[in-house]
Structure 1
Amino acid sequence: MITLVLGGDVNVQGRATPSAAFAPLEPLLKSADLRFVNLEGALDATTAEALTSAGIDVVSCANDLVAMANLPVLDHAGIAHCGAGANLDAAHAPAVLERSGEKVAFLAYTSLRPFGGQPDFPGLAQAFATTAYQPDPRVAEIPGRPPLVRTTPVPEHLDRLVADVKRAKAAHDHVVVSMHWGLPGAELAEYQVAYGRAAIDAGADLVAGHGPHTIQAVEVYRGRPILYSLGNLVFDWPAMRGRHVDGLLAGCMFGDEPRLELIPVRRTADNECEPLAGDDAAKVLRYVADVSALRSTTVSVRDGIASVHLGA
């Protein structure tokens, strides 16, 4: 049995004491066997102390080309990484960690094109999508109705993701797929569902999403969870101060009786990320339960913790 804690987007900068960035969350993080977050933004030897002090074991670097400069810093700090590399094969290689005699493979992809949508990023694992606009069925009756936005995975990216997951599952006990995708708000883009379900069909045990900077639904598909967006965790990007302050920590247990629990977190006025409790926690988790119900997924809330019903 392995316990894994996953967080959303992390950006560490401008802190007098980077090693204390995760201090309010450390009791939750250090109770797990493995800890994962999405690293968004530049890292250096000083800010890397935020991750090492919190015991972060593995990060996704599938965000933008800043990741290339982060890789040697992560290697020096002893933090595993996935989703970026010197070439495309390296970017698609899983980060593999072993605990209690079981191996967990982490794969990471980005659907969000950095730098104005330039097409070629040989060092990032890509899961891009195309966008089309379909006229509303009632547009002839009610002129001006907004079109329907249809998004579809790029076929070659979807095929490679599926192949990566199948290969990782054949060689390791568990596979976690990280996806940088989506738009702010509750509504999911069609391509998110397509990629998330394809990863599960290929053998992933869990899909963890981030990128919208807001919390999105959980969907249990074929008995395994897709966390569409965990929101922000520790996030120091100045443009995000006071915005999109809520996030989730997801605690997952792999084994004969898998479990998934969610704990809400919030960045304070001082931009410190802390666990929520009481009415604040209940309000966030009721929102998670409501949007997850739209994905035919049951989330139970009790005492500041949400339990996701994974089914048989």
Structure 2
Amino acid sequence: MDEQYDEVPEAAPTPPVARGAALPEGLAPAVEALPGLARVAASAWWHTTEWGVRTSARAGRRMARAVADPTEAAALARDATEAATVIGGLARSVSAGVPLSRALVSAAEWLDELAEPPQPTNGRDHPAADTMASLRQRGAELLERSRDVWSTDVGHPAYERILDELAPDEARILLLLLQGGPQPSVDVRTGGPIGMVNSQLVAPGLTMIGARSGCRYLDQVPSYLNNLFRLGLVWFSREALRDPMEYQVVEAQPDVLAAVHSVKFARIVRRSIHLTPFGEDFCRTCLVDEGADAAAFPEHGLPPETDAGEPPSHT
């Protein structure tokens, strides 16, 4: 009964150690040097950390890179060596008289740091590859839906994004173009004898679209039209409308008259603004009632295959 024990009695193998893989050859002596309870705790910590490293390796694809990348393989080996160093330090701390609980806490902090997923540092991690794989997957899903004869998709998927990028005045302009048809537009250029040789643009793209559509901010109409062109909803034709009467009111507007009177000789070039086929479908899908008769809307011209459909500029 007076027998004294110099060390904690050795505990029976616990489930975590019994189920875990064998400790590394270089790590086993350090663990065996610990007292019984500390040895059990250290082994459990090692297997927990080993599981964490394996999980991080799978999540970060470190193992796959290590096969082909010597640098990554060396990094994995370094992590294992550091883990063994922590366990060895735990044994030395306990042998030097550091309380077991404090030594285990310190070891746990180091092991937690080792279990953290590695950060890309050598430029060999390729997030772009994951992005490309995701895009290919989405492309495959898109083609799969295209083969689905029972698909009930309505409207282009870009319509939702376009609605987020439209101002209220721009919706009014689109509705005018859909219901009122192509709209007249004029350029004012220099004329006379000199204009026959070298005509200069005085004022481009003057219209009554803002007033006719009820825009709130008339001075923003050129910007509105540029945005609608950017979204692929309208295009600008170099051709005039068939009915010349469409231009009489436009050419009598103050801004057109001011541009004409700003030069000694001036001439007016008649043009027009149309919805693109994409813009027509967008307007019919998003801006009018579902039961609206598409045949009742005026016809728009098709945009050319050249850059002639671009918005007017000051050049």
TM-score scaled by length of structure 2: 0.18
Which has the larger share of helix? 2
Which has the larger share of strand? 1
